[in-house]
Amino acid sequence: MKIHKDGWWTIIGIWALCIALICVSLVFIDNRFISYPLTAIFLFFIGFVLFFFRVPERGSVEGENMVTSVADGEVVIVEKVFEKEYLKRECLQVSVYMDFFNVHVNFWPISGEVTYYKYHPGKYFLAFLPKASELNEHTSIGIKNSCGEVFFKQIAGTFARRIECYAKVGEKEEKGRQCGIIKFGSRIDMYLPLDADIKVGIGDEVRACETVIAELRHESRINELIK
């Protein structure tokens, strides 16, 4: 099992704390009916934190116009909104909520050039709440290819106090490659063109790289229609 490079210091810190608590419970608690269950709980956390930072091997869906999910999780929002930070127009928003048991590594939804990046400090409301999109700590990223532009946010939740993002404006990225990670419960908001064909609905379980969120209309075809 591959472990995400930005998870090791968190893993080491939690392991050290759990090992210390195991030693305390075994040495200072004489009642084995208390010390043994506590030890089992701490051993579970030692294993769970390793599981949490796993990086899965995933295939990638072909097609420049196929937008895949940035993250594993459950679709909690599908609606038309006005995106006011970067695109400054009406878009289709698709949001994916990640719980503790989902893979928290994030992947590029399309191949193309990074057009926008910004980090926003903020609050730590529950990630599935609508207000989390603007008020919580988050990063904003835009990526564009010949089929269109996708804008998405990595949003921290109540327990996610650190976001790692590898986006750099002007760089070329490939769909299915890692674009970052959010730690311990979080959400991804994706903003797509109004004419995008959305392939998911609220309540759907999605997998990064493998689940198609939407199909974009090719820009050249749109230009033909305009003419």
Instruction: State the catalytic residue, choosing from 25, 140, 186, 220.
Output: 186
- For 75, phi then psi, to 5°, come to -70, 120
Angle between helices 8-28 and 32-52 (to 10 degrees): 170
**Which residues lie below 8 Å from residue 22, measured CB to CB, with a gap of 6+?**
38, 39, 42, 43
The helix (H) or strand (E) run that includes residue 113 is strand 112-120
- How many other CB atoms sit within 10 Å of the CB of residue 11? 16
The three-point CA angle 151-154-156 to 5° equals: 150
DSSP per residue, 126-177:
-TTSTTHHHHB-EEEEEEEETTEEEEEEEEE-SS---EEE---TT-EE-TTS
User: What distance in Å separates the CA atoms of residue 90 and residue 69, rounded to the nearest whole number?
Assistant: 20
**Is there a catalytic annotation at residue 186?**
yes
User: What distance in Å separates the CA atoms of residue 221 and residue 16, rounded to the nearest whole number?
Assistant: 57
- Give the residue numbers marked as catalytic: 186
